[in-house]
Structure 1
Amino acid sequence: MTRYIATFHTHLAALRSSRSLSGRGIAAQMTPVPRKLSSSCGTCVRYEAETPELSLLDRDTEAVYTDEGGKYTLIQQF
């Protein structure tokens, strides 16, 4: 499993994405965005999955990163 962080343009997009991931059995947690990353709304969703599950994220997603113990790698910017 890989740890991911998704950032969003709005809090509502973060909430929708968290619910969408949780609805598919993927544990997701809304948290403040780490300082090393920027986000329009300041809220991110952290989750673990085999793949980034981009289709489950809201259309107002800003970016998705892998999280390797505080080292963040951009994998998709929208």
Structure 2
Amino acid sequence: METYIATFFSHFGAVRFGRQLREAGIDCALMPVPRQVSSSCGTCVRFTAKPPPPLPAEGDWECLFCQVGNSYMELQSNL
């Protein structure tokens, strides 16, 4: 299992994505964006999965990162 961080353009987008993950049976937590990762709204969703669930085709997600030790590798961007 890998740990992922999804960032969003708005707090509402993070809350909505967290709800979708929980409904799919994936444990997740809303948290402040780590210092190494920038974000527009400052809220991210941290979750563990293998493989990561697809991010919505439309929506206000910003980036998906995989946690590697104490750093983060960008996997997907919606910029």
TM-score calculated relative to the size of structure 2: 0.91
- Unaligned runs of at least 5 residues, structure 2: none
State whether residues 21 and 56 of structure 1, in contact with CA within 8 Å, keep that contact through their aligned partners in structure 2. no
Aligned-pair identity in percent equals 42
* Distance in 2 of aligned mates of 1:68 and 1:18: 21
Tell me, in whole angstroms, the C-alpha distance in 2 between the residues paired with 1:57 and 1:50. 20
Segments of structure 1 that go 5 or more residues without pairing to the other structure are none
- Residues 26-62 of structure 1: CA deviation (Å, up to 9, x unaligned): 0010000001100000000000001121246871100
Matches within 5 A, 1:6-21: 6-21=6-21
- Assess if the C-alpha contact under 8 Å between 2:67 and 2:73 holds in 1: yes
CA RMSD of aligned residues (A): 1.5
Q: Which amino acid aligns with 2:38?
A: S
Give, as a single letter, the amino acid of the residue that structure 2 aligns with 1:43: T
Q: Does 1:68 align with 2:68?
A: yes
Q: Give the structure-1-normalised TM-score.
A: 0.93
Q: Which has the higher helix share?
A: 1
Q: 1:68–1:44: structure 2 CA closer, same or farther, 3 Å change rule?
A: same
TM superposition outliers: structure 1 runs of 4+ over 4 Å? none
What is the count of residue pairs matched by the alignment? 78
